[in-house]
Amino acid sequence: MSTDQLKKEISAIKGTHDILPGEVRLWQIAESRAREIFELYGYRELRAPVIEPTELFEKGTGASSDIVTKEMYTFTDKGGRSITLRPEYTPSVVRAIIEHRLDLQPQPLRYYYIGPMFRYDRPQKGRYRQFHQIDIEVFGEKDPAVDAEIVEMAHRLLARLGVERVMTLVNSVGCKKCRPAYGQELRKAALAVKDRLCPDCQRKAEVNPLRIFDCKNEACREAASGFPLITDFLCPECREHFQKFREYLDLYRLEYRVEPTLVRGLDYYTRTAFEIVAEHLGAQSAICGGGRYDDMVKEFGGPDLCGIGFAMGVERLLSVARIQIPETSFVYFAYLGQEAKKECLRLARALRSEGIESLVEFKDRRMKDHFSRANKLGAEWVLIVGEDELRKGKFQLKDMVNSRQFEGSVLELAAIIKGKKILETT
Ligand code: ATP
Ligand code: MG
């Protein structure tokens, strides 16, 4: 089969992508910095399966949400069960808490996770079918200080990844007590302009008018601009929570804008909702979205445990990150003959034990060709093993960047390589 034929017959599924070794460095750096920062705040990783029972999301994410109505990757397995590739992470964590009685551990529970999510969305720039999220969850803490903690933590990560020009939008979507009255007013307002709404929002006007604010359609946005605002309907407790949340953001000197039409796409949110947006990214501008879900665990049949969290889209994050990839440094082995080749294999082993990346190629080459190969690969060092070196047990090490040459035993040369590394990193 020719390559072209193969390309046609087997290619990656639409909306998914390979992350190749060059680009993967950026991912590794972003992921390791995220882990490092989250652990500094006492968050610990919780890894849940990629596949879950479909009901988990129908119940958790919400039957009327875009995700559940349009975007789930659902299939029936060989046992006739309905399985879904997780479109978001929170329901999995809630399931794990209930299943393992994690609520019996000292609260708050602070978790993080980094991994792929799946949504049958229309693929476009910044929107994929398999994408990746950095996810944070806290359970068992009512204090709005934790709402601000996760926002501050998100900003620390963004700063660490060189992301600039972002805006934080905050809102309160109220609670079970105050939202129903608001919902009624909103429904009235939405039904009054029903003919100006897209078919999707016409349906939302009936079932969940709050969702109309989340529509990306310009006409719907315009129609919604005259709707009543949740901020005018908050009960005293929600009002106070929102007020305190903002005071804590001020304490951290974080800039934000109150956006009374900010609602999140999922059913379960209560009180705090926030988004961090890179406004220059256009329609796919939300890098991070989060909020509170105080009733979720209970509605799942678990204990009364409030929750809050955020999810950051890694693809969108990397599209605005400015990450310096550190130069890699490795030793290339230049040798002549079979004996020298064997010696190189032993030497490479010794250098790797010292934490030094080492590359022995197996093809017979002349010395000159070894050097052009080392140059082509970008080796910082070349370790030369010829007959003389074999006999003496001392080897030549060439610094390809500064054109210096050293002679020594393998451990002496390892010290030189490491010494330079240390000099460069301090
Ligand atoms: P949007 O309004 O852009 O559809 P969302 O509200 O569906 O976003 P969330 O469910 O809050 O997004 O997910 C959190 C983050 O995950 C988003 O802010 C975004 O960065 C990222 N994200 C969501 N869906 C996708 C996708 N299909 N492809 C790439 N990234 C995504
Ligand atoms: Mg979406």
Provide the residue ranges of all domains of the chain, joining segments of one domain with +.
3-178+234-320, 330-417
How does the average pLDDT of the chain come out, rounded?
93
The pLDDT value recorded for residue 281 is 79
274 Cα to the center of ligand 1, angstroms:
13
Pocket-testing residue among 131, 135, 287, 319, ligand 1, by greatest number of atoms within 8 A of Cβ = 131
Ligand lying nearest the CA atom of residue 121: 1
Q: Atom 16, ligand 1: which residue's CA is nearest?
A: 313
pLDDT of residue 423: 62
Given a cut of 90, whether residue 67 has pLDDT beyond it is no
What pLDDT is attached to residue 1? Answer: 60
67 CA → ligand 2 middle, Å:
7
Query: What is the best residue among 67, 88, 315 to mutate for testing ligand 1's pocket, by most ligand atoms within 8 Å of CB?
Result: 315
CA of 215 to the centre of ligand 2 (A): 10
Q: Any idea which of 6-15, 162-171, 287-296 has the lowest mean pLDDT?
A: 6-15
* Of 5-19, 25-39, 79-93, the least confident: 5-19
**Between the ranges 181-190, 219-228, 346-355, where is the mean pLDDT highest?**
346-355
Q: Whose CA is nearest to atom 28 of ligand 1?
A: 127
Predicted confidence (pLDDT) per residue in 314-331, tens digit: 999 999 999 999 888 999
Pocket test for ligand 1, best of 27, 127, 128 (most atoms within 8 A of CB): 127
Cα 89 to middle of ligand 1, angstroms: 12
Instruction: Quickly count: other Cβ atoms within 10 Å of residue 396's Cβ.
Output: 17
Q: Using one digit for the tens of pLDDT, what is the confidence trace for 132-187?
A: 999 999 999 999 999 999 999 999 999 999 999 999 999 999 999 999 999 999 99
Please name the residue whose Cα sits nearest to atom 19 of ligand 1: 313
Tell me which residue has its CA closest to atom 7 in ligand 1: 265
What is the pLDDT confidence band of residue 276, given thresholds at 50, 70 and 90? very high
* pLDDT classification of 117: cutoffs 50, 70, 90: very high
Model pLDDT, residue 208: 84
pTM: 0.92
Does residue 425 register a pLDDT over 70?
Answer: no
* pLDDT single digits (tens) 23-38: 999 999 999 999 999 9
Task: Quote the pLDDT of residue 206.
Answer: 87
The percent of residues above 90 in pLDDT, for the chain, comes to: 82
216 alpha carbon, closest ligand: 1
Name residues contacting ligand 1 (CB within 6 A).
88, 119, 121, 126-128, 131, 133, 265, 284, 286-289, 311, 313, 315-316
Classified by CATH at the fold level, domain 330-417 comes out as Rossmann fold (3.40.50)
- Whether 232 shows a pLDDT value over 70: the answer reads yes
Residue whose CA is at the smallest distance from ligand 1 atom 9: 289
- The pLDDT confidence band at residue 214, using thresholds 50, 70 and 90, is confident
Q: For a pLDDT cut of 70, what percent of the chain falls above it?
A: 96
Give the residue-averaged pLDDT of 70-83. 96
pLDDT greater than 70 at residue 226: yes
Question: What per-residue confidence (pLDDT) applies to 69?
Answer: 82
**Residue 264: per-residue pLDDT:** 79
- Residue 304 C-alpha to ligand 2 middle, in angstroms? 28
Atom 20 (ligand 1) nearest CA: 313
Residue 421 pLDDT: 65
Distance 265 CA to ligand 2 centre (A): 7
Sign of CA dihedral 20, 21, 22, 27: positive
Residue 355 has pLDDT above 70, yes or no: yes
Of ligand 1's listed atoms, the one at least distance from the Cα of 121 is 27
Contact 265, 214 (CB under 8 A): yes
pLDDT at 268: 81
CATH fold label, 3-178+234-320: BirA Bifunctional Protein; domain 2 (3.30.930)
